Amino acid sequence: MKDNSRRQFIKNTIAATAAVTVGTSLIDSSTAFAGVEAFKFTQVTLPFKYADLEPNIDALTNEIHYTKHHTAYIKNVNDAIVAENIPYTSEKQFFDNASKLSAKARNNAGGAWNHNFFWESLRAPGGAGPQGKLLDAINSSFGSIDKLKEQFNDAATKRFGSGWAWLVADGNKLKIGSTANQDNPLFDNAELKGTPLLGLDVWEHAYYLKYQNRRPEYIANFWNVVNWDKVASRLS
């Protein structure tokens, strides 16, 4: 090796080593920028026991849904954050940039968030219906709670394949719609946008054990376990 090419070789080797070191240190510390932790998804503690929603949603469905499906979304999105060095430092930033994410990061981030939101929207049957400011908003946007349910049931029934039905706030107005797969109304490219107030999982894994092909029956019984106090707390 001539002196010139030896110098170039050493320079290239140093550059390559530096690149690898930077990459490794980003992965090891899970930081995107110096001192700023990249956002990680965590799974909420289930706010009820698996059997508490019976007979509307059965215990085995809840257990498999929470411990298998939801846990997998959490693990997979956090794996993607590390593997792809996703630099976002908040949930908001994550969803504001949903259209730029890989399919793995986007689908699993949606799955992680949507299920946390779903569990926290549910409680044992027998609680109070919507009241106060929430009830006023429902009445002024839909006419009545029954009209809201009618529209929501329609959106949830007609969502072709897997997805979610949503009640969202858009300013003072409440709206209903659905999204495909694990998309949600916080995504920058969502079919329905707004502040999520209530969401219903209409993937077959959410109801098939008990209801098989009877999605409308699952949707109808879902109303018995909605935690309206929680829904109201999301209306700012």
Interacting residues with Mn ion (CB under 5 A): 201, 203, 206
Q: How far apart are the first and last CA of the chain?
A: 70
The distance of closest approach from Cβ of residue 201 to Mn ion in the complex, given in angstroms and rounded to an integer, is 4
Calculate the dihedral angle through the C-alpha atoms of 107, 111, 114, 117, rounding to the nearest 10 degrees.
Answer: -150
The distance of closest approach from Cβ of residue 185 to Mn ion in the complex, given in angstroms and rounded to an integer, is 16
Q: How far is CA 71 from CA 44, 87, 145, 175, in A?
A: 10, 22, 33, 30
Residue nearest to Mn ion (CB): 201
The distance of closest approach from Cβ of residue 164 to Mn ion in the complex, given in angstroms and rounded to an integer, is 9
Closer to Mn ion by Cβ: residue 15 or 72: 72
Beta bridge partner(s), residue 165:
178, 200
Closer to Mn ion by Cβ: residue 64 or 145: 64
Calculate the dihedral angle through the C-alpha atoms of 43, 30, 185, 118, rounding to the nearest 10 degrees.
Answer: 0
Please report how the helices 71-83 and 103-120 are oriented relative to each other, as an axis angle in degrees rounded to 10.
140
Closer to Mn ion by Cβ: residue 183 or 201: 201
Tokens 């349910």 correspond to 149
The distance of closest approach from Cβ of residue 60 to Mn ion in the complex, given in angstroms and rounded to an integer, is 14
Closer to Mn ion by Cβ: residue 130 or 185: 185
- Positive or negative: CA dihedral 113, 115, 119, 121: positive
Closer to Mn ion by Cβ: residue 111 or 130: 111
* Helical (H) or strand (E) element with 147: helix 145-158
The distance of closest approach from Cβ of residue 222 to Mn ion in the complex, given in angstroms and rounded to an integer, is 13
